[in-house]
């Protein structure tokens, strides 16, 4: 059959586009074996064509493959199951919006971390009033005894956690228990009890990494276990979530997708230099920008979570400041180099030491501080109960004071939404609503089409809390509580602390993803 007849037959079968390239390649190869410069060769005539030869097999650069073989046994697939309540529709929501999402970039804005609401879910039994939700993630073995590091969001709210190792037969999984979690860094440690020594990965020092260094990401994107992707360190010290003072990330262009979360980012020595945590994408899929929590942070958190108390303790003096340095603040307050206080928690060590809004802290125990991150790192590393000497500027004059370091988790209990024990009178009470809120930054207000300085945004909701019962969700903007405006964390906490069990609570809310034209709604209930 000639090529014209073949082509007509393909078109008759509807294959023209799919196979046209293949047909062209086939014909080209056929002609190449028969035709030489358009002249048919004679039998027995010597050709001037140089014979093609194959080179001897040789090993090209195999660094990536060696690291992959070394790391894959240490990387695990994590499967979690959890039971969540059915989410009732809110008045004013789009009836086609099944999971409360807005169908825009808001999901990326609030679900930086994989496995957010509306993940891989399966309905529970008829009439059980709950949804059985399943999610997948990754983890890395760091101790042969079965200790595994992953992300907190991979295992939080899980009723059952199961781990699959590389050499497990299909269908075999091992139950794991949570050793400890840290909300501030989104890290968790889980453990599998198993009667054999497990292959532990080697930890590296993230401080040694430079922009442009090669890295590999290992994990189970979309449930595809033992997947390895390559890229470089695109940037260091990225602050991707405003207000998260303990989350500065390594940015990489190694492909990271849902399911990679909790897996390792590895250097060319086969060492773990980060835990893959988040992506920046308008589609919730890989777009070339991924983030890993540095191993320096991971090691510190891991050692505390595996310690006797199984929790991370950080020091705090109870102040707030602008996360983004602004020269205008220094010019107005005449502060020069230092950290200018924008808020003081009532009853905190800073309050008791006499610090006020507008003071600029310039040194701690004789060590200069020029940025907020330096101050936080110094204070957070100190043990609660220890003392520190601060030098600060007030109205251009240098002053000195001594502060007693407090436990950050207890000091900011209402803001973090954590349960605390053994609280004293000087410590703000734990959250009654079970919700963590944050003041809207100008950038967030602009993106959300909100007036600057109005309302607080819901950052997290505790399971089985009052906030969850009344249907508050991440990304909602609370404008008022019982007719009282709440435009900062402090105002919100003040209103919250004044309410008692049995009282009615009414939130005036602009729902996540809604616009000004959509208006606001009430969410209400009675405090248990």
CA dist 377 and 316 (Å) reads: 10
The span from the CA of 340 to the CA of 355, in Å, is: 11
- Residue 107 Cα distances to 111, 137, 233, 371, 376, angstroms: 5, 19, 26, 31, 29
Token pair listed for 147: 């200790």
Rounded CA separation 341/354 (Å): 12
Question: Going by DSSP bridges, is the β-strand pair 271-279/202-203 parallel, antiparallel, or unpaired?
Answer: parallel
- CB count in 10 Å sphere of residue 420: 18
Tell me the catalytic residues: 153, 186, 261
Nearest by Cα to 355 from 369, 367, 365, 340: 340
Report the Cα–Cα distance between both ends of the chain, in Å, rounded.
Answer: 83
Helical segments of 292-361, H only: 295-305, 327-333, 349-352
Structure-block tokens of residue 15: 């294959």
21: exposed, middle or buried (C-beta count within 10 Å: 0-12, 13-18, 19+)?
exposed
Q: CA 131 from chain center: how many Å? A: 24
Q: Which two tokens stand for residue 161?
A: 């956690």
Q: Angle, nearest 10°, between helix axes 16-34 and 3-12? A: 170
């Amino acid at each position: 059959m000639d090529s014209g007849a073949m082509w007509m037959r393909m078109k008759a079968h509807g294959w023209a586009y799919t196979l046209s390239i293949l047909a062209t390649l086939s014909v080209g190869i056929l002609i190449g074996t028969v035709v030489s410069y358009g002249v048919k060769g004679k039998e027995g005539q010597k050709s001037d064509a140089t014979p093609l030869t194959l080179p001897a097999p040789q090993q090209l650069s195999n660094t990536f493959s060696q690291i992959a073989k070394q790391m894959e046994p240490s990387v695990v697939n994590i499967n979690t199951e959890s039971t969540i309540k059915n989410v009732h529709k809110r008045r004013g929501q789009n009836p086609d919006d099944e999971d409360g999402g807005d169908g825009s970039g808001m999901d990326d804005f609030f679900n930086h971390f994989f496995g957010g609401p509306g993940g891989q879910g399966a309905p529970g039994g008829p009439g059980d009033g709950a949804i059985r939700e399943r999610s997948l993630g990754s983890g890395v073995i760091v101790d042969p005894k079965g200790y595994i590091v992953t992300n907190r969001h991979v295992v939080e709210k899980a009723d059952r956690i199961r781990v699959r190792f590389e050499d497990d037969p299909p269908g075999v999984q091992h139950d794991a228990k949570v050793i400890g979690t840290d909300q501030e860094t989104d890290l968790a440690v889980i453990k599998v009890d198993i009667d054999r020594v497990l292959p532990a990965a080697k930890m590296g020092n993230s401080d040694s990494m430079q922009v442009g260094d090669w890295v590999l990401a290992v994990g189970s994107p979309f449930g595809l276990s033992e997947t390895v992707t390559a890229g470089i360190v695109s940037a260091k010290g990225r602050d991707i979530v405003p207000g998260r003072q303990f989350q500065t990330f390594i940015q990489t262009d190694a492909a990271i997708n849902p399911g990679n979360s909790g897996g390792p980012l590895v250097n060319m020595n086969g060492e773990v230099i980060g835990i893959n945590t988040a992506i920046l994408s308008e589609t919730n899929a890989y777009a070339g920008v991924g983030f890993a929590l540095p191993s320096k942070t991971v090691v510190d958190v891991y050692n505390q979570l595996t310690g006797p108390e199984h929790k991370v303790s950080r020091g705090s003096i109870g102040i707030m400041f602008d996360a983004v340095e602004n020269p205008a603040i220094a010019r107005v307050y005449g502060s020069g180099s230092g950290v200018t206080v924008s808020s003081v928690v009532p009853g905190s060590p800073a309050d008791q030491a006499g610090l006020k809004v507008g003071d600029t802290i310039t040194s701690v125990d004789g060590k200069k501080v020029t940025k907020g991150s330096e101050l936080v790192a110094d204070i957070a590393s100190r043990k609660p109960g220890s003392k520190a000497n601060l030098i600060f500027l007030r109205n251009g004059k240098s002053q000195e004071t001594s502060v007693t370091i407090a436990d950050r988790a207890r000091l900011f209990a209402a803001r973090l939404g954590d349960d605390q024990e053994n609280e004293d009178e000087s410590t703000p009470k734990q959250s009654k609503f079970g919700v963590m809120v944050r003041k809207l930054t100008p950038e967030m207000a602009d993106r959300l089409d909100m007036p600057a300085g109005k309302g607080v945004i819901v950052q997290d909701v505790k399971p089985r809390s009052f906030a969850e019962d009344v249907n508050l969700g991440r990304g909602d903007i609370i404008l008022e509580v019982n007719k009282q405006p709440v435009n900062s964390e402090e105002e919100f906490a003040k209103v919250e602390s004044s309410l008692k069990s049995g009282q009615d609570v009414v939130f005036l809310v602009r729902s996540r993803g809604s616009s000004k034209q959509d208006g606001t709604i009430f969410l209400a209930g009675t405090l248990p």
